[in-house]
Amino acid sequence: MRTFFLFHDDWSQWIKADIAASRYPFDGFLVIRRTRAWWGAYLWKRAKRRGWFKMLDEVLYRLYYLIFHSARDHAILKDFLNQRQCKLPADYKRPPVYRVDDINSDEAMRLLKDELKPDVCLLMVNVIVKEKIVTIPPLGMLVLHPGLTPEYRGVHSAFWATCNREFWGIGWSLLRVEAGVDTGSVLEQETTRFDPLTETHVVMQHKAHVEGIERVVETLKKLAAGENPRVMQNGRTSCNYTHPGFTDFLKYRRVVQQLRAEPSVAKYWDPPFETRREK
């Protein structure tokens, strides 16, 4: 089974990919150089889609995060990922690396379809992949989403799960890429028990990716053996979340302060559903 790992050209993604490749024989990495359009065009598009107030609210929170949290989070993640990187086998050899500017480009389509010819692709991306790309590997494209779906589809799942006092939503899901946003069938998922009262959602989501890699590798091995692993979704509620704004952060901070005052928050880790896997 020809398997490729697709991810953005970011130092943290490289470490995660190396961790995965040290546990599974990927045929190569496909690295995406560009994540989104120029910021001006992106913000204009957000404003037209979500409204000017929502867009400005998101920008305000983004600035707040960059000023007050990003440096500390970067240091925490660098230490966390470097510790994992140091544990790579001494004989680890990175698989062949291919690069594209845009995963949805004709260049990427030709590379995947005519040269790489994958049976399945593992994705760790923050863009919506178009159908012409998704349909290339016969076993599909699988995205490692930092949150439990279908309850926490979309972005910043750990933020919204904390806001909703649903800590069980902090974790990861491996699901098939389909036309909607994180709407595909789930092959495997797990809650990751970090500390939402002291760690930011950004730190928790990066850690969730790393914690999920071992289980993801086992799922890829099952696919290679002809199995069809799947987590049952019956009776579960689907919700799609977007980027938080500063007004959302004020609610988030208020919730965290209230939870810190409670004698125990253990009840917030219990999901209101039973996770079952098809045999």
- The answer to whether residue 27 sits within a structural domain is yes
User: Residue 279's pLDDT band (boundaries 50, 70, 90)?
Assistant: low
Q: Nearest-CA neighbor of 171 among 215, 230, 123?
A: 215
The Cα–Cα gap between 90 and 15 comes to 15
Is the pLDDT at 129 greater than 70, yes or no? Answer: yes
pLDDT at 38: 63
Kindly report, residue by residue over 59-81, the tens digit of the pLDDT: 999 999 999 999 999 999 999 99
The Cα–Cα gap between 167 and 162 comes to 6
Kindly report, residue by residue over 176-203, the tens digit of the pLDDT: 999 878 989 999 999 999 999 999 999 9
- The answer to whether residue 151 sits within a structural domain is yes
The Cα–Cα gap between 118 and 116 comes to 6
pLDDT at 54: 94
Is the pLDDT at 278 greater than 80, yes or no? Answer: no
Q: Are 3 and 120 in contact (CB under 8 A)?
A: yes
Is the pLDDT at 211 greater than 70, yes or no? Answer: yes
The CATH number of the domain holding residue 227 is 3.40.50.170
pLDDT at 179: 81
Mean pLDDT of 16-43: 88
The Cα–Cα gap between 15 and 107 comes to 26
User: For residue 17, what are the CA distances in angstroms to 5, 88, 249?
Assistant: 7, 11, 31
Give me the chain's average pLDDT, please: 94
The Cα–Cα gap between 192 and 144 comes to 14
- The answer to whether residue 277 sits within a structural domain is no
- The answer to whether residue 57 sits within a structural domain is no
- The answer to whether residue 218 sits within a structural domain is yes
Mean pLDDT of 112-139: 95
Q: Are 133 and 109 in contact (CB under 8 A)?
A: yes
The Cα–Cα gap between 127 and 130 comes to 9
Mean pLDDT of 85-94: 97
- Run of H or E residues at 30: strand 28-32
- Cα-trace Rg, the chain: 19
Give long-range contacts, CB 8 A cutoff, 24+ apart: 24-28.
Answer: 24/217, 24/220, 24/221, 25/95, 26/95, 26/122, 27/2, 27/3, 27/95, 27/96, 27/116, 27/118, 28/4, 28/95, 28/96, 28/97, 28/98, 28/116
Q: Nearest-CA neighbor of 21 among 9, 4, 8, 7?
A: 4
- The answer to whether residue 106 sits within a structural domain is yes
Amino acid residing at 53: F
- The answer to whether residue 254 sits within a structural domain is yes
The Cα–Cα gap between 17 and 32 comes to 13
- The answer to whether residue 62 sits within a structural domain is no
Is the pLDDT at 268 greater than 70, yes or no? Answer: yes
Tell me which residue range forms the domain holding 206. 3-34+69-269
In the chain, the number of structural domains is 1
HEC sequence for 232-248 = CCCCCCCCEECCCCHHH
